[in-house]
Structure 1
Amino acid sequence: MASVSVSHLIIFIAALTVSVGVATTLTVNVQSMTVSMDERGESVAKDIETDVTIISDPGSPASIYDADNESVTLLVKNTGDRAIEVGTDPPDVLIDGQYQPAPTVAVVSDPDGATWGEGDVLRVVVSKSLAEGEHRATVRVNSAEDTLRFRVN
Structure 2
Amino acid sequence: MASVPVSHLILFIASLVIAAGVVGTVTTGVDRVSAAVEDAGIDATEQLRTDVTVISDASAGVYNESSENVTLLIKNTGTQRLNPDGSGLDVVFDGAYVPPDATDGELVSAGDGAAWDRGDVLRLTIDVSQVDGTGGTLDPGTDHRVYLTVNGDEELFQFRTEGS
When the two structures are superposed, what TM-score results if normalisation uses the length of structure 2?
A: 0.80
Change (3 A) 1:71 1:87: closer
Comparing 83-92 with 119-128, which one deviates more in the overlay? 83-92
2:33, 2:7 → 1: CA distance?
39
Does residue 130 of structure 1 match 2:138? yes
Gapped regions of structure 1 (runs ≥ 5) = none
Letter in 2 for 1:53: T
Does residue 6 of structure 1 match 2:6? yes
Q: How many residues align?
A: 150
Q: Tell me the equivalent position of 2:117.
A: 117
Letter in 2 for 1:23: V
CA shift digits 1:9-62 (9 cap, x unpaired): 21111101100111111111111111111111121222222111101122210x
1:65, 1:89 → 2: CA distance?
21
SS of the residue 2:99 aligns to: coil
Q: Report the alpha carbon displacement of residue 115 of structure 1 after superposing the two structures with TM.
A: 2.5
Q: Tell me the equivalent position of 2:73.
A: 75
Q: Please list every run of at least 4 consecutive aligned residues from structure 1 whose deviation after the TM superposition is greater than 3 angstroms.
A: 85-89
SS of the residue 2:126 aligns to: strand
SS of the residue 2:109 aligns to: coil
CA contact (8 A) 1:53 1:145 kept: no
Change (3 A) 1:3 1:113: farther
Letter in 2 for 1:149: Q
Identity of aligned residues (%): 41
- RMSD over aligned CA atoms reads 2.1
Q: Tell me the equivalent position of 1:41.
A: 41
CA contact (8 A) 1:73 1:123 kept: yes
Q: Tell me the equivalent position of 1:65.
A: 63
Change (3 A) 1:37 1:87: farther
Does residue 139 of structure 1 match 2:137? no
SS of the residue 1:93 aligns to: strand
CA contact (8 A) 1:106 1:113 kept: no
Q: Report the alpha carbon displacement of residue 131 of structure 1 after superposing the two structures with TM.
A: 1.8
Does residue 27 of structure 1 match 2:35? no
Change (3 A) 1:36 1:89: farther
Gapped regions of structure 2 (runs ≥ 5) = 129-136
